[in-house]
Structure 1
Amino acid sequence: MTWLHGILLFLATVIGMEGFAYAAHRWVMHGWGWFLHASHHTRREGNWELNDLYAAIFAVPSFLLIFGGLQLGWWPGFTWIGAGVAAYGAIYFGFHDIIVHQRIPTRYLPKSPYMKRIVQAHRLHHVVETREGNVSFGFLVAPKPERLKAELKRRGRQGVRAPDRDRTLAEK
């Protein structure tokens, strides 16, 4: 496999992972996998939540593809695909855990319209603390916040978290 083909396969995997992440988030995490993901829709105490196990679960195929492609004689494209999955995981970690949820404190403030849009869309996803009634399941592609707010309103704000008085006072 040429480097050019490998890089194209890597980039296609990174792009394709957004679709996979959307489907996994909507139908697995908010479906039968809610028992882990529910911890992510409630206030976290400490540094870890059950939802963090998804990072380990999704790292396994990436590791196997890279290892198989490099050490077990599998088709070399598997290495590039595994690397693409790992790169998407790194992008996800940077966006989701650092920028949106600030699990590692930074002074970053989104300035570009794109970054403002995806951060706000993800925050609107989190105003719903129940399994159903959520909006915006993607991570790097998101509808306009106005559309998401209208959809939440249309649904009668079902499952929308009540304002947290203690947190609101502490942030002031």
Structure 2
Amino acid sequence: MKIALWILIFLATFSFMEFMAWFTHKYVMHGFLWSLHKDHHRKDHDSWFERNDAFFIFYAVVSMTFIIIATNTSFWYGWPIGLGILAYGITYFLVHDIFIHQRFKFFRKANNWYARGVRRAHKMHHKHLGKEDGECFGMLFVPFKYFKK
């Protein structure tokens, strides 16, 4: 029973992180922390790194905190929560930084319906160079209209 609950918590956390990514992107990155995110929309430097990369640190710290608490206390729920956040972070990195933005040259030939829809949605998000009037702030679950031809 405990393993089923562990898996359920992990999957729920992973799924909830898509909402958190959307919420953070829309209201924090395109809100009061636009100063850190704007170089992702309009590159104003020569570095491979972006100020926007700092956002991963917040979720990494949250993930590590849950895992550390689970390790040092009887709060075993911290393991599936922390690892669910970590798994989403890895997925986000693979989809956003590698697949969409090609910061590493992998997955260049992926061209199935899901890949095209996610790329199209992200392209529509990036057509807005300012913090206002944005659209499609999610990453893994994007509106169905982006999957249509």
- Secondary structure in structure 1 of the residue aligned to 2:137: coil
Cα distance change on mapping 1:87 and 1:131 into 2, 3 Å: same
Counterpart residue number, 1:19: 19
- Secondary structure in structure 2 of the residue aligned to 1:106: coil
Shift of 1:28: 0.5
State, as a whole percentage, how many aligned pairs show the same letter. Answer: 36
Distance 2:62 2:107 in 1: 33
Amino acid at match of 2:123: R
Which protein has the larger Cα radius of gyration, Structure 1 or Structure 2?
1
Amino acid at match of 2:125: H
TM-score (norm 1): 0.80
Distance 1:74 1:90 in 2: 27
Residues 101-140 of structure 1 aligned to structure 2 (within 5 Å): 101-140=101-140
TM-score (norm 2): 0.92
Distance 1:68 1:48 in 2: 31
Shift of 1:106: 2.1
Amino acid at match of 1:133: D
Distance 2:21 2:125 in 1: 15
Shift of 1:118: 0.8
Kept in 1, the 8 Å contact 2:98–2:104? The answer is: yes
Distance 1:102 1:91 in 2: 14
5+ long unaligned stretches in structure 1:
148-172
Number of aligned residue pairs: give it: 146
Distance 1:25 1:4 in 2: 32
Amino acid at match of 2:70: G
Shift of 1:74: 4.2
Q: Which fold has the larger relative contact order, with Cα–Cα distance below 8 Å and residues 6 or more apart in sequence?
A: 2
Shift of 1:131: 0.5
Cα distance change on mapping 1:112 and 1:37 into 2, 3 Å: same
Kept in 1, the 8 Å contact 2:26–2:137? The answer is: yes
Amino acid at match of 2:11: L
Distance 1:9 1:61 in 2: 16
Counterpart residue number, 2:50: 49
Counterpart residue number, 1:65: 66
Shift of 1:45: 2.2
Instruction: Report which stretch shifted further, 73-82 or 37-46.
Output: 37-46
CA RMSD of aligned residues (A): 1.7
Shift of 1:115: 1.5
